Amino acid sequence: MKWIASLIATLAVTASLAETQSTSAVGAYSESMLPASARAEAGAKKLTVMFIGVTTLLFDDGETAIMTDGYFTRAPRESLNSIQPDKDRIARSLQRAGVKSLAAVIPLHSHFDHALDSPVVALQTGALLVGSESTANIARGYSFPEKRIRTVSNGETVSFGRFNVTFVISAHLPNNFAMGEITAPLSVPAKATDFKVGDAYSVFIEHDGRTILVQGSAGFVPGGLSGRRADVVYLGIGGLGLRDTPYKDSYWQELVRSVGARRVVPIHWDNFFKPVDEVLIPDTGFDKAMEFLLNRGKEDGIDIRLPPAWTWTEPLSGIRQRKQ
């Protein structure tokens, strides 16, 4: 109970501060937004991505579609003692995104704001659920079919159509919330703290020779991505703006410079206690995180682009392919 009380108190302050920022906080970065694109069609030889809040990303090449997380319930903070997926809201969100089927749903770690809905999304779309043993135990608690659960090991690559997805063990932003593993099937309703982090991944998504790195939380393992490369990084910045400069510098070095990225797309910047079908509200520390990213991007010649919500974009557009 102490965890819940502490979390609610912290989030109450966070939400209050965040809501004093108008939605113009994002509008102030309008020149840094990724431009809209038409959704990829079969044979088009392009990759389109839709951002749907927190670290939910829908990847589609016109032939195959995969999704990270798939968090649509957006449980309000006053319900953290008893949360469960909102199946109707999930169905409406998938319909809005134009999702009829997915090859895979990939939770980046197992906290509730990432994995609460993942098994339901996979069930509604016929997808394989791919991730850690903690994520698998969430699915088992939902009576999700075992044959459609795929647990992965560090460095393992799983292929879906023209997508090759590689999982590298990373770390969560240090905040001591719901740490550890989920070691038995987890049924709902449950407490937010029951959704323990499990393995947190850096996920490399290679498609037709180009690579996108998705980092779901602003944590890192020093040297953990050594030797790996990515053209674009979808970079989790939740809580990053509240960290000191040495931490932010290390995060930039480990997640951006080390992989040779040409573009950074910030994610996990919105208040995830507000409905995803409304205008996304930036969370506390957003402006400080953006200031840091824009400054580092300018220094290193790396393009910083915010993703518009519910909009198809081409994150690799305008980025020259690296020499192999």
Q: Where are the domains of the chain?
A: 2-313
In this model, does residue 179 exceed pLDDT 90? yes
Tens of pLDDT, residues 137-164: 999 999 999 999 999 999 999 999 999 9
242: pLDDT strictly greater than 80: yes
CB burial of 239-259 (b: ≥16 within 10 Å; e: otherwise) equals bbbbbeeebbeebbebbbebb
Tell me the average pLDDT across 180-186.
98
Residue 7 has pLDDT above 90, yes or no: no
Supply the pLDDT for residue 269: 96
Confidence band for 28, pLDDT divided at 50, 70 and 90: confident
Give pLDDT, residue 44. 82
Pairing of the two strands 104-106 and 65-68: parallel
- The answer on pLDDT for 129 being more than 50 is yes
Predicted local confidence at residue 320, as pLDDT: 77
- Residue 267's pLDDT is 98
Q: Look over the chain and give the mean of its residue pLDDT values, rounded to a whole number.
A: 92
CB neighbours of residue 44 within 10 Å: 13
Task: Pick the closest to residue 68 from 147, 148, 122 (CA basis).
Answer: 122
How does pLDDT run across 270-295, given as a tens digit for each residue?
999 999 998 999 999 999 999 999 99
- Band of the pLDDT at 323, cuts 50, 70, 90? low
Mean pLDDT of 98-114: 98
Check if the beta carbon of residue 194 is closer than 8 Å to that of residue 35: no
Mean pLDDT of 16-32: 57
Structure confidence at residue 176 as a pLDDT band (50, 70, 90): confident
Asked whether the beta carbons of 53 and 94 are under 8 A apart, the reply is no
CATH superfamily of 2-313: Ribonuclease Z/Hydroxyacylglutathione hydrolase-like (3.60.15.10)
Q: What is the CA radius of gyration of the chain?
A: 18
pLDDT at residue 305 in the model? 97
For 53-97, the pLDDT digits (tens) are: 999 999 999 999 999 999 999 999 999 999 999 999 999 999 999
Q: What are phi and psi of 151, to 5 degrees?
A: -90, 145
When pLDDT is averaged across residues 20-40 and rounded to a whole number, the result is 76
pLDDT of residue 319: 86
Is pLDDT at 10 greater than 70 in this prediction? no
What's the mean pLDDT in 114-136?
Answer: 98
The pLDDT value recorded for residue 322 is 61
| b/e map 125-152, b = 16+ CB within 10 Å | bebbbbbbebbbbbbbbbebeeebbebb
| pLDDT value of position 11 | 45
Distances (CA, A) of 259 to 235, 236, 254: 12, 15, 8
Q: Is the pLDDT of residue 243 over 70?
A: yes
- φ and ψ at residue 210, rounded to 5 degrees: -110, 150
